[in-house]
Chain A
Amino acid sequence: MKKLLSNPLVLIGFVIIAGILLLALIAPLIAPYDPEAIDVKAILLSPSSSHLMGTDGLGRDVFSRMLYGARISLMVGFVAVGIATAIGIVLGAIAGFYRGWVDTIIMRSVDVMLSIPTFFLILAVIAFLTPSIWNIMIVIGLTSWMGVTRLVRAEFLSLRNREFVLAAQTLGAKDARLIFTHLLPNSLTPIIVSSILGIASAVLVESGLSFLGLGVQAPQASWGNILTDGKEYIQFAWWLSLFPGLAILITVLGYNLLGDGLRDAFNPRSSQH
């Protein structure tokens, strides 16, 4: 851990993510206003000491909404990637361990999923369901497991014939034991790296969907739907567009730095470059 944090990229990414996580956790304690409270006397106020990031078209405090929006972004990222990673590990492990026709079927399904433009797929599913935070998380998760599947399969294929695995097999270890105590733990690093990078793109997708009005629904705050208001008032209220955009940028940057830094730290070959 100490060695990891000495990598400046990992450190910066870690600080950013930890900071946002903390702000999201203590949001109810530090938010100066109720994020959904409408105040007609305080419409579109520019940033000041009483409203740090100004107010929106309904007089809601943008700073409080940003804090609660952080909770949405983090939750969507974790849950969506949790779903995707779980599916990816199971399918990738089966494909890489048993090979043969199961492998063929799973990998062809990956190809099929990759050939449908993901954003179209997500929007199409949402059109048939109702947009809600849970549906968004599930849909993002169900449309982003392909990378992990390929990764886990590749790891399993390369580990499968290593001496320690063959030794365990010779000693009579069952399939489940081989998979869970030998193969999976040795594939963990790339899975973690790809999950962290996956969270970054899930955050971007969620904010894009909310911006289009198909994600988190009003009055609940998300960075994406604060930006929708920002678009409407772009000529009068720059603060409505600036802050949520910056928040998304910094969060995604944080995950990317952390993910890339970890990959470099664990992979001696890539640090040569």
Chain B
Amino acid sequence: MLKYLLKRFFWMMPLLVGISLISFFIMHLAPGDITTSEASFNPKASEESRQKLRELYNLDKPVIVQYGLWLKRMATLDFGTSFASHQRPVFWQTKDKDGNVTLGMIQEAIPITLLINVLSLLLIIGIALPLGVVSALNQNQLPDRSITLFVFIGFAIPGFWLALMLMYWTGVQHAWLPISGLQSLGHENMHWFAQIMDTLKHLVLPVFISGITGLAGISLFVRNGMLEVLHQDYITTARSKGLNENRVIYGHALRNALLPLITIFGLSIPGLIGGSVIAESIFAIPGMGKLFYDAVLMRDFPVIMGILTIGAILTLIGNLLADVAYAWADPRVRRGVVQ
């Protein structure tokens, strides 16, 4: 297992180099250099802040030196300070001479985005598993047909539009759920239990919106996986030796159908992180997605580059975890019998 882990870990290194190349390339996309384009978009950008930008990315040095320094920044996760938010550190907290700590912007935003994504993964598993199984066991009958219809609509519905409709219906028309932010007014004065309930209520709509596409995808995936497995010889064997049908389905078929799901979850991480832009900016939730969106609007380049890199690293970590989980669940993989 350790050997597998190490191999898998070193596999990430060339990917990190590739990510650094792409982000470096994006930084140099702007016509001229980014200091002049920043000035033309934002007339208030002072000569001082342009000078800062030049220093931050070493724009006066040769390209190869610039790249080397960018690589060093990535390796030490030092993305400088924000232009728009009073020079706050982009990634992690810093301490000044007097010992005052300033929290990093990504540091504050990451837990919120991770919480929403973990909750929406739980929601996906909780709903998509039963839907997929029911669909497969009633192949081509009414339940299967209606679930398939739901899947097609789930794939096609624009998340931001569904968010708007739900905001209107549950928030404006009926006032069942709060539609913006993470806390109600007076949150600080509540009992701790009421505080948790308050935040959870704020999370219902964003979690549902970030999960909707995955919900459709995973339902379909579980359905097809179950159908595939149910036609295998070992299922026929299990049935013919007189095993209880429930044991056949839940003990044998489902377990094998679920295995590839681990990989699918790993692959869906970049989509979830990227999708947080829409859900978070609509519901005004201060996570990575909203931070990124605001940074794009204000052309706050250090924040953009920081989140782009951290988002990619999170994806790599997620894929690594998925592979490790797969190897843990399937001994054939960890012993290198199958890829």
Residues of A within 8 A of B (CB): 108-109, 111-121, 123-129, 200, 204, 207-208, 211-214, 227, 230-231, 234-235, 238, 241, 244-245, 248-250, 252-253, 256-257, 273
Take A126-B296, A234-B172, A245-B165 as given contacts and tell me if A115 and B160 are in contact as well, using a CB distance cutoff of 8 Å: no
Are A112's CB and B278's CB within 8 A? no
- B304 contacts A124, CB within 8 Å? yes
Contacts of A211 in B (CB 8 A): 158, 160, 278
B15 within 8 A of A: yes
Closest chain-B Cβ to A197's Cβ sits at a distance in Å of 9
Please name all residues of chain A whose beta carbon is closer than 8 Å to the beta carbon of B308 when the two chains form the complex: 116, 120-121, 124
Q: Is the CB of B311 within 8 A of A125?
A: no
Whether B164 pairs with A273 at a CB distance below 8 angstroms is no
**CB–CB A207/B29 < 8 A:** no
B154 to chain A, nearest CB (A): 10
Q: Is the CB of B277 within 8 A of A212?
A: yes
Which residues of B in the span 285-321 have a Cβ within 8 Å of any Cβ on A?
292-293, 295-297, 299, 301, 304-305, 307-308, 311-312, 315-316, 319
Q: Does B331 contact A (CB under 8 A)?
A: no
A108 contacts which chain B residues (CB < 8 A)?
14-15, 18
B156 at the interface (CB under 8 A from A): yes
| A227 and B161 contacting across the interface, CB-CB below 8 Å | yes
Cβ contacts under 8 Å, B65 to chain A:
none
Q: State which of A109, A129, A213, A235 has its C-beta within 8 Å of the C-beta of B29.
A: A129
Are B224 and A115 neighbours in the complex by a CB distance under 8 Å?
Answer: no
**Structural contact, B22 and A113, CB atoms closer than 8 A:** yes
Asked if B105 lies at the interface with its beta carbon under 8 angstroms from chain A, I say no
Q: Are B15 and A128 in contact (CB under 8 A)?
A: no
Beyond A112-B21, A117-B270, A257-B152, 11 additional contacts (C-beta under 8 Å) are: A108-B15, A115-B19, A115-B319, A116-B22, A123-B293, A125-B29, A126-B296, A129-B30, A208-B159, A235-B172, A244-B161
Across-interface contacts of B157 in A (CB, < 8 A): 249, 252
**B26 and A124: CB pair below 8 A?**
yes
Pairs A–B under 8 Å by Cβ, sample size 28: A112-B19, A116-B22, A116-B270, A116-B312, A116-B315, A117-B311, A119-B275, A119-B278, A120-B277, A121-B22, A124-B296, A127-B296, A128-B37, A200-B155, A208-B158, A212-B277, A212-B281, A227-B164, A234-B164, A234-B167, A234-B172, A238-B168, A241-B168, A244-B161, A245-B158, A253-B156, A256-B152, A273-B227
Number of B interface residues in the complex (CB < 8 A)? 58
Query: For residue A130, which residue of chain B has the nearest CB?
Result: B41
Q: Which residues of A contact B212 (CB under 8 A)?
A: none
* Contact B158 A207, beta carbon cutoff 8 Å: yes
- Whether the pair A212, B30 counts as a contact (CB closer than 8 A) is no
Chain B hits for A109, CB < 8 A:
18
Of residues A113, A117, A125, which shows the largest number of chain B Cβ atoms within 10 Å of its Cβ?
A117
When A125-B29, A249-B153, A249-B161 are in contact, do A117 and B315 touch as well, CB less than 8 Å? Answer: yes
Point out the residue from A125, A214, A248 that lies within 8 Å of B158, measured CB to CB: A248
CA distance A213 to B277 in the complex (A): 13
Chain B neighbourhood of A227, CB < 8 A: 160-161, 164
Closest to B295 in A: A127
Give residues in B with beta carbon < 8 Å to A.
Answer: 14-15, 18-19, 21-23, 26-27, 29-30, 34, 37, 139, 152-153, 155-162, 164-165, 167-168, 172, 224, 227-228, 267, 270-271, 273-275, 277-278, 281-282, 292-293, 295-297, 299, 301, 304-305, 307-308, 311-312, 315-316, 319
Which residue of chain A lies nearest to B220 when distances are taken between CB atoms in the complex? A260
C-alpha spacing A250/B153, complex, angstroms: 9
Find the B residue at minimum CB distance from A201. B155
For B15, B156, B271, B307, which residue has the most chain A Cβ atoms within 10 angstroms?
A: B156
Give the residue name and chain of the A residue nearest to B282 (CB): A231
Q: What residues on B are CB-neighbors of A244 within 8 Å?
A: 161
* Docked CA distance A87–B304 (Å): 27
Inter-subunit contact A253/B15 (CB<8 Å): no
The answer on a CB contact under 8 Å between A252 and B167 is no
CA distance A120 to B292 in the complex (A): 8
Do B158 and A117 touch across chains, with their CB atoms under 8 A apart?
A: no
| B92 CB, min distance to chain A CBs, angstroms | 19
Residues of B within 8 A of A230 (CB): 164
Contact: A273 with B224, CB < 8 Å? yes
A115 touches B312 (CB 8 A): yes
A250 to B307, CA, bound (A): 34
Residues of B within 8 A of A250 (CB): 156
Partner of A111, one of B15, B27, B152: B15
Asked whether B26 lies within 8 Å of A128 as measured between CB atoms, the reply is yes
Contacts of B267 in A (CB 8 A): 114
Q: Which residues on A sit within 8 Å (CB–CB) of B14?
A: 108
- A125-B26, A253-B152 given; A117·B168 CB < 8 A: no
Q: What 6 A-B pairs are tightest by C-beta distance, nearest first?
A: A119-B274, A112-B18, A117-B274, A245-B161, A252-B156, A253-B156
- Chain B minimum-CB-distance residue to A121: B308
Bound CA–CA A227/B157 (angstroms): 14
Out of B22, B30, B278, name the residue touching A208 (CB < 8 Å): B278
